A and B are shown apart, each in its own frame.
Chain A
Amino acid sequence: MPLTYDSVSVGDMLPDLELPVVKRSALALYAKASGDHNPIHIDVEFARKAGMPDVIAHGMLLMAWIGRLLTGWAPQRDLREFGVRFTAITHVGERITCTGRVSEKEERDGERLVKVEVKTMNDAGEIKVVGDAWIAVP
Chain B
Amino acid sequence: MVDRNFIGKVIPAHSANVEASRLRHFAQATGETRPEYIDDAAARAAGHHALPAPPTYALCLDLDLPDPFKWITDMGVDILQVLHGSERFRYFAPVYAGDRLTFSSRIADILQKKSSKKAFVVKETEVTNQHGVKVAELRATIVVREF
Contact = CB atoms under 8 A, between A and B. Distances in A.
B63 A36 contact: yes
Interface residues of A, number: 41
Interface in B34-92: 34, 47, 52, 54-56, 59-61, 63-64, 68-69, 79-91
A124 to B, nearest CB: 21
A132 to B, nearest CB: 9
Contact of A83 (B29, B63, B87): B87
Interface string A92-113: 0000000000000000000000
A64 B54 contact: yes
Contacts of B63: 34-36
B30 A61 contact: yes
A33 B22 contact: yes
A63 B86 CA distance: 10
A71 B54 contact: yes
Interface string B92-130: 001000000000000000000000000000000000000
Interface of A: 19-20, 26, 29-30, 32-40, 46, 49-51, 58-61, 63-65, 67-68, 70-72, 76-77, 79-86, 89
